[in-house]
């Protein structure tokens, strides 16, 4: 029979510490994997649409595909814009720490990169330009 009284020193017991560390790692890894999978999926979506854009002008193509699959035109246009701007996923800013929302918010749209909120450690592409925020020094 399993013990039902929770010991006061439970958090200090090795097996419990190991269990909670494992649970936390599982959740963290799963969230990371799901976010990256979404980025990969939108990249594939944009790539597929661009592949067929020689048959129908991209605006008309996106409109018809969006209606047919019941997805928003905006979502499909973001996917096209994403793959055109970053044809290779390994060139996406912030690497695998990026999310689809960050891509839309910070890197797509009007073409102007927005300064990330909060402090961040600059990652300099060259001696003069940060690859995260575009700030020059």
**Domain spans in the chain, listed from the N-terminal domain onward:** 16-107
Per-residue pLDDT of the chain (137 residues; tens, 9 = 90+): 676 778 889 889 899 999 999 999 999 999 999 999 999 999 999 999 999 999 999 999 999 999 999 999 999 999 999 999 999 998 998 888 899 999 999 999 754 444 444 455 555 455 555 555 556 66
Residue 4: HSE in the Cβ half-sphere, 13 Å Cα cutoff: 1
Per DSSP, the residues of 34-89 read: HHHHHHHHHHHHHHHHHHTTTTS-HHHHHHHHHHHHT--HHHHHHHHHHHHH-SSG
Whether the predicted model's global pTM rises above the 0.85 cut = no
Residues with Cβ within 8 Å of residue 78, at least 6 apart in sequence: 42, 46, 103, 104, 108
């Amino acid at each position: 029979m399993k013990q039902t009284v929770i010991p006061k020193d439970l958090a200090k017991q090795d097996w419990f510490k190991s269990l909670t560390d494992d649970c936390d790692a599982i959740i963290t890894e799963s969230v990371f994997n799901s976010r990256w999978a979404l980025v990969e999926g939108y990249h594939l979506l944009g790539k597929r649409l661009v592949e067929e854009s020689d048959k129908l002008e991209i605006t008309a193509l996106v409109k018809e595909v969006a209606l047919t699959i019941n997805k928003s035109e905006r979502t499909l246009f973001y996917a096209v814009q994403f793959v055109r701007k970053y044809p290779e996923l390994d060139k996406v800013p912030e690497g695998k720490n990026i999310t689809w929302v960050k891509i839309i918010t910070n890197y797509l749209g009007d073409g102007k990169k927005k300064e990330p909120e909060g402090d961040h450690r600059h990652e300099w592409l060259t001696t003069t330009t940060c690859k995260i925020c575009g700030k020059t020094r």
